[in-house]
Amino acid sequence: MTTLAPPAPVTAPEAAPTPRPARRRRDLAGRIGLLAASAVVAVVLLAALVPDLLAPQDPLEISLSESFAPPSAEHLFGTDQSGRDVFSRVIHGARQSLVIGIGATALGLLGALVLGLLGGLGGRLADGAVTRVIEVLYAFPGILLALILIAVYGNSALTQMVAVGLATMPGYARMVRSQVLAVRDSAYVEAARALGHSSPRILLRTLLPNAFRPLTVLITLGVGQAIVWAAALGFLGMGVQPPTAEWGAMLNAGRTYIQQAWWMDFFPGITIVLFTLSLTVLGRHLQRATDAGALR
């Protein structure tokens, strides 16, 4: 008697592997992008640390006879309405913008650290209160909160830093809380408790490092976001006031003369775009490197 063999199981077709030439081109483009981003960040950091090394002129020197001079060999980025060299002002504005961006990110992360730890470790009542606070801050427009603080306390770099930090804090706080909740019940925290480690030691040496390692990527992304926020406030006239060289304030000063002297807005604006884009590229690369290390 002839028996029929059972049909072979049907398997899903495997995804076609990426061709080697295409993969090599993609990897090469990624390396080039990473090198370009690193170069842009390095130049901006150099400009912030030693602006006189790169700036050819005094950013506050007025020369009315050279007002609205277009870009040339003498003035690479042209001059503004007072004859000041725009290139020198962009270079010197890097320090002010970086200080505001880094300070605002640090304040936002510090506030998020307090709220996240209180919500993740403080019990159900504290977690509920922290969640409500985060939801209220999320519902309140960040730009409106920043404008209220600046209107009350005046225009200054410190006020701008605090305003941007408070505006970005809710997003960080939600991520910190979720990370603390995930790590709190993990096996290695339970193992540390079983070994008799004290609560402060578990918090400082086990819980915090593991909870915040994935959040280190946010530092690079957060600085770029804070710089954009600060530039937006400066563009609205709520930031550092002229004649101080700051990228957002330069945008605000140049918008009046956009048809007459396009370079007054173009070069500070493209600097903000390139720097924040470069920080994003570095942050994404760091995130991929962190994820790859975690899988090993």
Mention every residue, 6+ apart, whose C-beta is less than 8 A from residue 202.
189, 192, 193
Q: What pLDDT is recorded for position 80?
A: 93
Whether the upstream peptide bond of residue 9 has omega within 30° of 0, thus cis, is no
Global model pTM greater than 0.85: no
71/55 Cα distance (integer angstroms):
15
pLDDT of residue 295: 45
Residues of the chain falling short of pLDDT 50: 1-2, 295
Q: What's the CA angle centered on 43, arms 38 and 45, to 5 degrees?
A: 95
Which superfamily does CATH assign the domain made up of 76-295 to?
Answer: MetI-like (1.10.3720.10)
pLDDT at position 94, please? 93
Rounded distance between C-alpha atoms, residue 163 and residue 291, angstroms: 32
Q: CA nearest 269: which of 282, 291, 285, 253?
A: 253
What does the pLDDT read at residue 51? 92
Determine the pLDDT at residue 239.
75
Chain centroid, CA 114 distance in Å: 20
Residue 88: predicted pLDDT: 94
pLDDT of residue 197: 74
**What does DSSP assign to residue 155?**
S
